Amino acid sequence: MSADAAGSGHPAPGPGLAAAPASPWVQRWSHLVAPGTTVLDVACGSGRHVRWFAARGCRVTGVDRDGAALAALRDLAETLVADIEAGPWPLAGRRFAAVVVTNYLWRPLVPRLLDSLAPGGVLIYETFARGNESVGKPSNPDFLLRPGELIEVAAQGGLRVLGYEDGFLDHPPRYLQRLAAIREAGGEIAPRHALPG
């Protein structure tokens, strides 16, 4: 499902309009992404997370099928117009220090997302979950996470879960699942990953 269909929920900012703020979940776990490292924002839409990580000194790649939305991001990031559901994966062989996905779910893409995560890299994922059909869109179960599904994704990728939430938010009403997980580089002693305060 594209960012438009699942909806980042934010149109590209026009003249005089401020960009939408980064998701609080993304903000909460961004400290795990060091300045100067690479970030992949999947189905980035109008680029609120492209802007967030670029402002933090990261080298960001934004992928979306909406070329008009990406046009406003060209000075901030590498942008790739691609239909990642129907076309080939445009980033084969590339690895990133962080992969960020919000308000987007296309299950066949999950193995590609996991392959795109470098050793020591962090996956920050937040999207709609079952129950959302009772309050609005998306309502198609193909685009709603099953209970515990992001935990399964982390296990599939051999990732260590640092944070996970599954529940309901009031404003606006929506059911979400959220995950922050890291691909540890190995070793007997787990590195210290500071938890947000």
pLDDT tens, 39-66? 999 999 999 999 999 999 999 999 999 9
Nearest to 108 by CA among 83, 129, 126: 83
The pTM for the full model equals 0.86
pLDDT score for 73: 96
pLDDT tens-digit profile of 86-141?
A: 999 999 999 999 999 999 999 999 999 999 999 999 999 999 999 899 999 999 99
Place of tokens 């670029």: 54
pLDDT tens-digit profile of 160-175?
A: 999 999 999 888 889 9
Nearest to 124 by CA among 84, 164, 169, 156: 164
| All domains of the chain in start order, with CATH | 21-182 (3.40.50.150)
Q: Residue 160: is it exposed, middle or buried by C-beta count within 10 angstroms (0-12/13-18/19+)?
A: middle
> Torsions phi, psi of 156, nearest 5?
-60, -40
